[in-house]
Amino acid sequence: MLKEGTKEIRQVYVDTLINLAAKDKNIVVMEADLAASIGTVKFKEKYPDQFVNCGIMEAQMVGAAAGLSLAGKRPFLHTFATFATRRPYDQIFISLGYARLGATILGSDPGVCAEHNGGTHMPFEDIALMRTIPNCTVAEPSDEYMMKALIEMSYEKGGLWYIRAQRKKAMQIYTENEKFELGKAKVVKDGKDVCIIASGICVSDALQAASLLEKKGIDAAVIDMFMIDPLDKDIILKYAKSCGQILTVENHFIVNGLGSAAAEVIAESGTGVKFKRLGVDKRYGQTGSLNFLKKEYGIDAESIAAAAEGLAK
């Protein structure tokens, strides 16, 4: 049985930034009137001169981040995932991407994690938008240890990063000393009958689905594809060959997210496999509790198990 992690993801974000700022005066933390929601108020108290609350001006925040970056700073931007990507997309694309300027953008509460904030706040398209930017690294942590590693990695590697993550606690998938590498997925459970590729909150549900499948005699592998770009193509092809059936699960549209990325790799490799994408299909978000929404959009453990069973048959 999985257990819940020890720290909220937002707390990990803030603590990691505080640690980085202790070593680097060029770190700048930026908010667009959601500092209270993510907890960077604590960062502001410690490093007031390295904190900027832009107000409800997402496009301005991105533009100013590009300017800060141009002048040698390393900006970390946060707002809700909708307002971090869709709203200032052109500014991200041109002022950061095209101009080859670095920043780490955290979009919080992606997809159903937006819960009671409802449809206007529930992005199922943020990965789709960000993975089409030629030089943007796109990642989605599944637990708190990975969150810390990704924030640090974005700082060390530099460039433009988009990280989507829920604010609350995640299920614990890894232990504290786990190492994560750019573009290398994690096999969290090996298996031979069907391979479930997931990211973010869907990883723990995929693991739960794998235990449900085990009871039915189906041995499912679960891969945590925490980086959508650069994508770990090798592991997808390896499991395509060994399992022969691949199921992708994402808290996102099935269009141009993880499932599409995996499909592109498989189709171009010439490896014929049974393949299915699970995720949100041509629907908007709505208000509701996390469990209600996961079920509603068919990405809860039961739906994952049913889809995997369908493939394995």
Cα–Cα dist 198/48, whole Å: 38
Asked whether position 59 contacts another protein by CB under 8 A, the answer is yes
Nearest distance from C-beta of residue 1 to ligand TPP, angstroms = 36
Q: In 170-187, which positions are buried (b, 16+ CB within 10 angstroms) versus exposed (e)?
A: bbbbbeeeeebeeeebbe
Q: Which two tokens stand for residue 35?
A: 């500092």
Give the binding-site size for another protein (rule: CB under 8 A). Answer: 27
Nearest distance from C-beta of residue 164 to ligand TPP, angstroms = 16
Q: Which residues are known to be catalytic?
A: 58
Q: Which of 2, 11, 26, 57 binds another protein (CB under 8 A)?
A: 57
Question: Helix, strand, or coil here: 205?
Answer: helix
Asked whether position 119 contacts another protein by CB under 8 A, the answer is yes
- Window 75 to 114, contacts with another protein (CB under 8 A): 82-83, 87
Site stretch for another protein (CB under 8 A), options 2-10, 116-124, 259-267, 304-312: 116-124
Nearest distance from C-beta of residue 188 to another protein, angstroms = 30
Q: State the binding partner of 303 from another protein, ligand TPP, none, CB within 5 to 8 A by kind.
A: none
**Amino acid letter, 255:** V
Question: Helix, strand, or coil here: 169?
Answer: strand
Binding pattern to ligand TPP, positions 154-193, x when CB under 6 A? ----------------------------------------
Task: Compute CA distances 93 → 26, 77, 142, 199, whole Å.
Answer: 23, 15, 26, 24
The H or E element that residue 124 is part of is: none
Asked whether position 83 contacts ligand TPP by CB under 6 A, the answer is yes
Cα–Cα dist 77/103, whole Å: 7
Asked whether position 283 contacts another protein by CB under 8 A, the answer is no
The H or E element that residue 138 is part of is: strand 136-139
- Window 133 to 172, contacts with another protein (CB under 8 A): none
Residue 47 CB contacts under 8 Å (≥ 6 apart), including other chains = 18, 21, 27, 29
Strand 227-229 to 136-139 pairing: antiparallel
Residue identified by tokens 């390295």 is 50
Nearest distance from C-beta of residue 210 to another protein, angstroms = 27
Nearest distance from C-beta of residue 22 to ligand TPP, angstroms = 29
Q: Which two tokens stand for residue 293?
A: 């929404």
Asked whether position 57 contacts ligand TPP by CB under 6 A, the answer is no
Interface contacts to ligand TPP, rule CB under 6 A: 33-34, 56, 83, 87
Interface contacts to another protein, rule CB under 8 A: 31, 33-37, 41, 53, 55-57, 59-60, 82-83, 87, 116-121, 286-289, 292
